[in-house]
Structure 1
Amino acid sequence: MDSPDFPPPLLLLSLFLSLALTLSAAYSPTPPPPNDTHTLTLFRLQADTHAALLPNWTGHDACRSSWFGVRCSPSGRVTALVLPSLSLRGPLDPLSPLDQLRLLDLSGNRLNGTISPLTNCTNLKLLYLSGNDLSSNIPAEVSSLRRLLRLDLSDNNIHGPIPGDIGSLIRLLTLRLQNNLLSGEVPDFSASLINLKELNLTNNELFGQIPEPMMKKFGEKSFSGNAGLCGASPLPACSLVGSPPPIETVPSNPSSMPVTNIIRPGQKHPKSGLGPGSIAAIVLANCVALLVVTSFIVAYCYSRDSGGSHSKEGSEGKRRSSSVSERRVYANNAGPVDSDGTDVTDRSKLVFFERKNKFELEDLLRASAEMLGKGSLGTVYKAVLDDGSTVAVKRLKDANPCAREEFERYMDVIGRVKHLNVAKLRAYYYAREEKLLVYDYLPNGSLHSLLHGNRGPGRIPLDWTTRISLVLGAARGLAWIHEEYSDTKIPHGNIKSSNVLLDKNGAACISDFGLSLLLNPAHAIARLGGYRAPEQAETKRLSQMADVYSFGVLLLEVLTGRAPSQFPSPARPRGEEEEQALDLPKWVRSVVKEEWTAEVFDQELLRYKNIEEELVSMLHVGLACVVAQPEKRPTMAEVVKMIEDIRVEQSPLGEDYDESRNSLSPSLATTEDGLTGY
């Protein structure tokens, strides 16, 4: 009987290992879900190095611990991250694992790097990254964000072409790429992005012809500020020579490569004619002739003046000096008035802090102007330039002794400020007898005018929600200043309601930051009109803790509806003036001490229901800021946190926002556009 054939040992071993691997794969547990808390922690370690901007980001679970700005799904995945205007720094790379993210609002920070890491977040619907320092280009992988409704990458340093892959984002409603360094031609998205309602490509370096369907749908305003673009009027007409040259195959030998002149719109055609040597000879001859004529004219004028009466030199010199020091840059609405006596070396150019939206000093001097008012450091004018844009110009009157080097150093401190709740200096001009600061014009006035203007019948009261929004925006701006300059302890020095301006969307901007640097510290206390802390009577110095006191007075002003110099005595009937005035904090304390707390609040606020707890909580914040001892006052970062806690507790952000119609950001202070003021 033959023995059975058994498989060789090696084959048995292979079958065993295969079966083991199969069983292992079949019964292996499912991998754990991504740890979003760990992801956010890594982001915070890079973006908030001092652990001061996100103080409640502690604990082992971001969702259960209700981290600030974080919203989660019932399953514990992060679906929204809303952290605008916090001065966060660093790259976006740590956020790449947040694949369940629907909303990301990091506008108005100082984030850098590229947006490529976010292309992994394929569930994103709302992406707001405006006002950062992002660079590189827009990756083609942006097409993976197929659920995207709104994309805002404006006010960054993004360069390169606009990728045609954006055309695959068929749900897109808003595309904002303005104020970058984008180049190349404008892609035609008209057929693919049929839902696109808003397109802004202004102030880039785009060139070529705008696709006719795009121009027809969005208009010239969506493409302005790109000198190389052409198309229908009012843009320059396009020509064949303005089109990019066709792609052609050239031999590898550089000497045999064809010479191609690429002429973009606005450039002149090359002309044949005189050679370089002939042109140089003609120019040189003209220059010599002009020099000779100029010399004769100067000699004649000098001899005529020297032959005149020398007895008038003293009085004429005084009058000339007076006219220089008293000359006005703008005379009513008739435009600028220049004067004789300006040193040619002082005719410096405007110094801009960004490459975008530049103009010449002559453009500013030609602008029609209107005086808006006089502040503690100078007069502010509204100037309308020839291109229709409007700027605010502050003509400084108290900084004339400041030397150029010192002045420019202070301007650098002010000019590098980048926060949506701090007015941004756009440009400055220095001359010995003239110093100008240029800001974007903000048409919505100040918190002071909204609080105190036109009180009485027919006035539209400033509602509670708007007041707390403006206060929170101002607090965030001041907290950012204190954090940014924590080492040098540079204060604002002039906090008051007239220096809280409103941008076109109604968000608060603190203006006049840094101007106190132009004055002697002792003089600054006397000349600046901000609300003064009690210790300043002795120290004669500005400080960040004095800023906290001033902000507390501002908060009490918002709650009471009374300017710091307008309030009745608590010991007298309402409406009867006190013989000896108290300051606003003392008046509020005295009323609260007498348990007449309801008498403190603005009558316009008492008509709102169910806000009593919010009013009292906000009053406690204001009183904490105005304690007499500077060391017992909270920091501005702590003040921001206290105000945010009141808002989050009483009026949380809605969970079911309308993604297709709501504003660009659900944050309390609108982060839609960059904020600047004066």
Structure 2
Amino acid sequence: MHPMQVRCLSLYIIMVPLVCLLLLFSTATHGLSDSEAILNIKKSLVVGQAKALASWDAKTPPCTWPGVLCNSGSVWGLQIENLELSGSIDIEALSGLTSLRTLSFRNNKFGGPFPEFKKLAALKSLYLSNNQFEGDIPDNAFEGMAWLKKVHLAQNKFTGQIPTSVTKLPKLLELRLDGNQFTGQIPEFGHELHLINLSNNALTGPIPESLSMMDPKVFEGNKGLCGKPLETECDSPFKELPPQPAIRPKSSSRDPLVIKIIVTVLAILIFLGVIIVLINRNYRNKQLTLAVETGPSSLQKKTGIRDADQRRRGRHKSDHRNGSATATGVENTKLSFLREDREKFDLQDLLKASAEILGSGCFGASYKAVLSSGQLMVVKRFKQMNNAGRDEFQEHMKRLGRLRHHNLLPIVAYYYRKEEKLLVCDFAERGSLAVNLHSNQSLGNPSLDWPTRLKIVKGVARGLLYLQHDLPSLMAPHGHLKSSNVLLTKAFEPLLTDYGLIPLINQEKAQVHMAAYRSPEYLQHQRITKKTDVWQLGILILEILTGKFPANFSQGSEEDLASWVNLGFHGEWAPNLFDKEMGKTSHCEGKILKLLRIGLSCCEPDVEKRLDIIEAVEKIEELREQEGDDDDFYSTYVSETDGRSSKGVSSESINLT
């Protein structure tokens, strides 16, 4: 036999067993059933509580085990919390759960280094807060986890720098690293986050520009941080230059006399400087409406509007000297009021008001401003509102200002600048529906029960119907309906915000950020319709009933919220489908199921089959908390066809005010 043939045959004899062994190992790791994989995970855990996980038994299906979350028979989540667990987390066993999307080991006693979770590339949520993990997290710890949206690592003992791989996650929405020992500078994030908390670490250096609009509380406990939104200014790099050696002059008998002269001159200059400052301050107090003694207000610091106006005033003074002052420049510094039934205040009153940031959205930040009169207002700052010129913008704002409905948050006033706009609205006591749905428990507030949720759905539907009636020329009169744009009064009455803005927002930004452009008709056909707002209403109904945040799903794909509900809903009551925070629902399960069906009908991908807004409102209004309950929404109109009270809904018969 030829030598070459001998070598090939030898190589073949060696490789075949190796390949077989690799295949067997792969099958042993990934060919396990979900129950076998979970039982392997259990073996690696040290259980602190007696009988905890005792029901994890091969005799019963895993979807019946506590802490195991399933969908259509497949395990998509493990929620093993508050069990005093320690030991190791078996990543290889976890990788055998091919449908695993969420993993929570919160409030346990796991320690040691950060596990190799990057092997779970399909993971969407990772909760490890309140454990005893320690050491540096490798810089590449999150590489390849393109679906990861939530990372909670708070209250551990992690050290070292924040891994840059977490800042590059394309879908990241929430990041909690508070209560650790992270050091170094905060890295720049590739996109805007819904939630971030870096408090109580040992971070240093300037806060990145992308995080400068966040609440200062998320940076508390890091003494070395500086820059906005903190009050601490960053030192100039020039202060770090090494001091130059001093040149000592030769001693002279005249030194004491020279020193006396210098001290006297300096004292005179300081005295004159103080006099000039006092005169200048007195002059400015007479000329400006803002008192200098109070210093720049919180809202001025946060928005920078005052600085822009001062620059503008400087330009106008220059124009005056050149004989070219314009009336337009003066108008730019005034608030334009849309409501005659509200107390008037000027821009300076607003800017010097103490302010608190409420949130940072896709178009800008919102602030709660407390005027000197005690009046509470919300100021929303928009930087992407240049789709319309000045005249067109002002005309559209007047149109929105004429709207009157108790489920719309009125726009009280606005401030126009070419670069950005401010919209001034009333303050809603209970904040947004999103906070009340998804953060109440963490904030220690009571959850929304079923009657309150039904009340909110009815109010939202009525507000949408009114918008469609009074803004008929707009294809999607609201255009940006989501839980964060629904505010709640003290009595849990919903107020719609950010409505009617599609004509004003820059189109490229609108298509990226506004809810209307995530509808099936836009994703498939690049258009929105009169029923696009109905689709948004349907998604909101499903969010209210399930407690699931729509942003955690990929809109328009097979994993959006509507399709997830469709997969789990089989025409009858399914406890795992509904938000457990609703409390007792045994007496109203039928009504909840009816509302769920209405929500799914509103989310019908085929626009022709989808309910229109009048049909949706009619079906929602038929739901009563108790039999015989009346609703004054219908009591104000009578059918003129036969003179009897009517339950039929039409655009003519409904009282929209």
Pair in the same fold by TM > 0.5: no
TM norm structure 1: 0.43
TM norm structure 2: 0.45
